[in-house]
Structures are given as structure tokens and as C-alpha cells.
Amino acid sequence: MIRTEGVTDVTEETFEAEVLGSALPVLVQFTADWCGPCRQLAPVLGESAREEAGRIRIVQLDVDREPGIPVRYGVLATPTLMVFRAGEPVRSIVGARPKRKLLQELADVLDPGLTGP
């Protein structure tokens, strides 16, 4: 698995507690060792995890080692970034992004008051 400082690895065994049960929104990167764009995204997610700590958690799940979760949520490509809030998926982004673009796409998740309840 791609190791990224500040990003927690989750498995099928820990997904419910780490993602669905989180009080904070959680960004899940569905990743794989062979995925080039996932490697490009790793430093972006690591920086974002440190800078946005307390507003969003960032975790990663290896689609080859843990195939059940990606199937459950209809993940067909890597990297797919899926944001969960209160145990429900609220946003899905496919493909790598520069940090600025990613944070723009996540602005309403990071600051829910921007779009209302």
C-alpha cells in the first residue's frame, strides 16, 4: 500500500469505525499500489490531512486487498475520492487533482455553512 504521512489506512474491518462512525467528514481515497495517479495524489492528501486536521479526516483503502468496500460503493476506478459525512457518501471525485483544485471541490464539505445544512 502507498504510505502517506497523515493518512490512515483502513480495511473492511476498520471501515465502519474509522469512516462511517466518524464525527468529522472523512475523505476516503480508494487506491492501489499499481496506480500511478494515486502516487501523484499521495503528497496532496498528506498535506491536506495535516492542514485540514480537525475539519476532515483523510484515509485510504487498498482496492485490491479490500475489494468489498469499493464494490459496495460502486468504485470503478482509482483513484476515487469519496467523502462520507454522518456515515453517508456525499461526494465522489475520480482522478488526481492538484491540492488547490481538490480543496476547491471540497469547500462545501470543509465549510458546510457555505451551502446550508
Residue span of the structural domain in which 72 resides: 8-109
> Catalytic site residues?
35, 38
C-alpha cell recorded at residue 79: 483513484
Strands (E), the chain: 8-9, 26-31, 57-62, 80-85, 88-94
Q: How many domains does the chain have?
A: 1
**CA dist., res. 115 & res. 48, Å (int):** 21
* Residue 82's CATH number: 3.40.30.10
**CA dist., res. 9 & res. 7, Å (int):** 7
Confirm whether 117 is domain-assigned.
Answer: no
- Band of residue 10 on the pLDDT scale cut at 50, 70, 90: very high
Whose grid coordinates read 490512515? 8
70-112 pLDDT, tens per residue? 999 999 999 999 999 999 999 999 999 999 999 999 888 887 6
